């Protein structure tokens, strides 16, 4: 059965006449039943729960101030709204079903706790009780943490523009002869490398004159005697003759060597000439007489 807190009517009357704001109960109180405290500002009934203990309580128009010592537990509910408790050490506030706010003070040391009710209903959370520490609105679900905004990557530094300092030439110390500015940081200008001149085209090798035999029917072996080591156009004509008549496949290079001389000697012997390897007038005439 809920009992009204027993407070002397005489003390209340005297306090009202004197304009005092508090009613004192100085004895150690142990509440054997739920006890209603009727406040006037705001007009709210607080219920001190059975089993609560305090070392005395001060009741104001809008607050109650129990003194709770170490090891004592003082519990109070508010069916009309929420409340806050100061100090917060050892205080747990929850929101029960039906939006009934409940504060439990567990004494840490002998200390007065100010309990201030409000008419704002607490938010019931069936998943768990509200936080301790005396804050109002116990049982209100915690607001999910807002994910941290990803850091914006730093803008890469713009590469410094390298400028050669006028008047510093290739110096990186001292001062510009043109502006007087420091030459520190000067980047000497590297002269452009001249383009490599184009390699002149190799003149085309003049075509070797074709054999005179093609136009005259006679090989032009020249007027001098050809022999081992001879060079020039008459030797080329001799090489053409040997390729055409004897199918030797000689390179037309205008150089007469010992292998060719050996072939000439055999040819001379076969054709009734002195096999001396010398291509003179008789040998040339015999070659041009061949069909």
Higher pLDDT, 25 or 158: 158
Per domain, the residue ranges of the chain are 3-117, 161-186, 218-289
- The CATH code that applies to domain 218-289 is 1.10.101.10
* 4: phi then psi, degrees, rounded to nearest 5: -80, 140
Spatial distance between the Cα atoms of 25 and 28, rounded to a whole number of angstroms = 8
Q: pLDDT per residue over 12-22, tens digit each? A: 433 443 344 55
Q: pLDDT per residue over 157-169, tens digit each? A: 656 555 678 888 8
Among residues 136, 137, 142, 143, which one has the least CA distance to residue 124? 137
3-state class percentages of the chain: helix first, strand second, coil last, to nearest 5: 15, 20, 60
pLDDT bracket for residue 276 (50, 70, 90): very high
Model-level pTM? 0.39
Q: pLDDT per residue over 234-263, tens digit each? A: 999 999 999 998 988 999 999 999 999 999
């Amino acid at each position: 059965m809920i009992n009204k807190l027993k407070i002397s009517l005489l003390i209340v009357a005297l306090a009202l006449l004197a304009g005092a704001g508090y009613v004192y109960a100085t004895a150690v109180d142990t509440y054997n039943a739920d006890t209603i405290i009727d406040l006037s500002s705001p007009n709210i009934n607080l219920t001190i729960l059975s089993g609560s203990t305090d070392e005395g309580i001060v009741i104001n128009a809008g607050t109650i101030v129990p003194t709770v010592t170490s090891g004592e537990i003082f519990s109070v509910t508010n069916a009309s709204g929420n409340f806050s408790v100061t100090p917060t050490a050892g205080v747990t506030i929850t929101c029960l079903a039906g939006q009934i706010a409940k504060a439990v003070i567990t004494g840490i040391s002998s200390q007065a706790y100010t309990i201030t009710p409000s008419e704002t209903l607490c938010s019931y959370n069936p998943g768990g009780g509200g936080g301790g520490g005396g804050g109002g609105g116990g049982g209100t679900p915690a607001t999910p943490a807002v994910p941290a905004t990803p850091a914006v990557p730093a803008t890469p530094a713009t590469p410094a523009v390298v400028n050669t300092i006028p008047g510093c030439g290739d110096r990186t110390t001292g001062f510009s002869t043109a502006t007087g500015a420091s030459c520190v940081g000067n980047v000497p200008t590297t002269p452009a490398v001249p383009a490599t001149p184009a390699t002149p085209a190799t003149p085309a090798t003049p075509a070797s004159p074709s054999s005179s035999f093609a136009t005259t029917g006679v090989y032009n072996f020249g007027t001098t005697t050809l022999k081992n080591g001879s060079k020039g156009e008459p030797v080329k004509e001799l090489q053409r003759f040997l390729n055409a008549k004897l199918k030797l496949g000689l390179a037309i290079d205008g150089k007469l060597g010992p292998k060719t001389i050996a072939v000439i000697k055999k040819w001379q012997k076969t054709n009734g000439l002195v096999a001396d390897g010398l291509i003179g007038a008789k040998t040339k005439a015999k070659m041009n007489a061949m069909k």
